[in-house]
Amino acid sequence: MDYRSDTFTKPSKGMLNAMLEAQTGDDVFGEDPTVNKLEAMMSELFGMEAALYCPSGTMSNQVAIKVHTLPGDEVICSTLAHVYIYEGGGIAFNAGAQVRALEGDRGMITAADVEAAINPDDVHKARTSLVCLENTSNRGGGCCYEWEQIEKIREVCNKHGLKLHLDGARLFNALLATGQTAAQFGATFDSISVCLNKGMGCPMGSVLLGSAAFIKEARRVRKKLGGGMRQAGYMAATGVYALENNVERLAEDHLHAKKIAAALLEREFTGHMLPVETNILIFEVKHPWSPITFRDFMQQQDIRVMAISPTQVRMVLHLDITPEMVDRTIAVIRSME
C-alpha cells in the first residue's frame, strides 16, 4: 500500500492491453496516430487549439515557460510552486528566467499579490512576462483555486500583457472536486500542462495545451530538450486509456482521503491538517509519535507514507489503493498506541 505519491501506480491489465494494441508511427515526423489521437482528445476536451505529448510534467512546464519568456525575464509563482521548488532550477537552466515567488496561501496566490509583484517598465528591473499557477496545489495539500480568483488573475495578466500558465498536474482532481470545467480552464489560460503519470495511472507522460502557434514553438523546444520521441504511441495509448477509464474514478480517491483524514483526526497525535479537498493529506504528527516513527511504524504494516518535513507526513490516494486497503489503513491508525 503505497501512499507516498500518486506516481506509485502500476499500469492495469486494461492499460497494458491498450499499449499492446496501439497503432504507432514516428512522432518526431508527426506520424504516430496514437499520439495524435491523445493530443486531439485533450485539445478538444479543453477547447484549446493544440496539444503536445511530453514525457513528463516537468518537461511540459519547462517547455511552456521557455516559450513564454525571454532570458532575463521574471516569472511570478507561489513559493510552493512545483515549477520553482521541484524542477531542479529548470526555470533558470532552460529559460534563463528568474522567479518572483509570492507567499500565498497553501501554494495559491491572489490577483492583488500578482499585480503588486509586476515590475515597472524600468531598465533596473527584470521584465515580468509570465504568471504560473498550480491547481491542485501539491505542496498545499491538493487544494483548489476558486474560479473567481483565477478570473481576477487573468484580468491582471491582460491588463499588464502577461502570459498565464497553469501547472495542472492534478487538474482533473480539481475539476471533479469543484465542478469547474475543462473548457473554462481552456478559455482562460495561455497554456496548461496536465500529468498522466499521477492519479491517472499511466507510467509516464503529460500533455501540454495551448494555441496552435504556441504548440508549434513548444514542439521545437521539446525537441531541443531531447523530448522528441519516436513510437511514443505505445505510451500515449496509456493516456488515451486513462482519459477513457480513470478520470471519473478520481472522485473515489477524494472520498478515501476524507475517510483516512477523519480517522487520523480522531487521534491525539494528529496535529494541524491541511484541508482535504482532493486526494492529498498533509498533517502534523505529534507526541508520542513523530513523522519518522509514524512512517516507520506504518512501513512495518506494509503501508508506505512520506515524512515531508520535521513535523509533517503526506499521504496521497490513487487508483492502486482499494477500499479494502483504506479500511485496513484506518484499522492500523486506530490501533496505534
**Residues contributing to the site for ligand PLP (CB under 6 A):** 56-58, 61, 82, 134, 138, 167, 169, 195, 197, 206
Distance CA 66, CA 57 (A): 14
Q: Which is nearer to ligand PLP, 232 or 263 (CB)?
A: 232
**Residue 138: CB minimum distance to ligand PLP, A:** 4
- Radius of gyration of the chain, Cα coordinates, nearest whole angstrom: 20
Q: Which residue is nearest to ligand PLP (CB)?
A: 57
CB of 55 or CB of 233, closer to ligand PLP: 55
| Shortest reach from residue 293's CB to ligand PLP, in Å | 27
- In the complex, the smallest distance separating the C-beta of residue 66 from ligand PLP, rounded to whole angstroms, is 15
The minimum distance between CB 57 and ligand PLP, in angstroms, equals 2
In the bound state with ligand PLP, the residue whose beta carbon lies nearer, of 56 and 311, is 56
**Minimum distance from CB of 121 to ligand PLP (Å)?**
31
Which contiguous run of DSSP H or E holds residue 315?
Answer: strand 312-316
Q: Cite the DSSP H helix spans in 79-226.
A: 82-85, 90, 111-117, 147-160, 171-178, 182-188, 212-224
Instruction: Give CA–CA dist 281/5, Å, rounded.
Output: 10
Burial class (CB in 10 A: 0-12, 13-18, 19+), 121: exposed
In the structure grid, which three cell numbers stand for residue 116, read together? 503588486
Which residue lies nearer to ligand PLP by CB, 138 or 329?
138
Phi-psi region of 169 (alpha: psi -120 to 50; beta: other; left: phi over 0): alpha
For ligand PLP, the closer of residues 22 and 166 by Cβ is 166
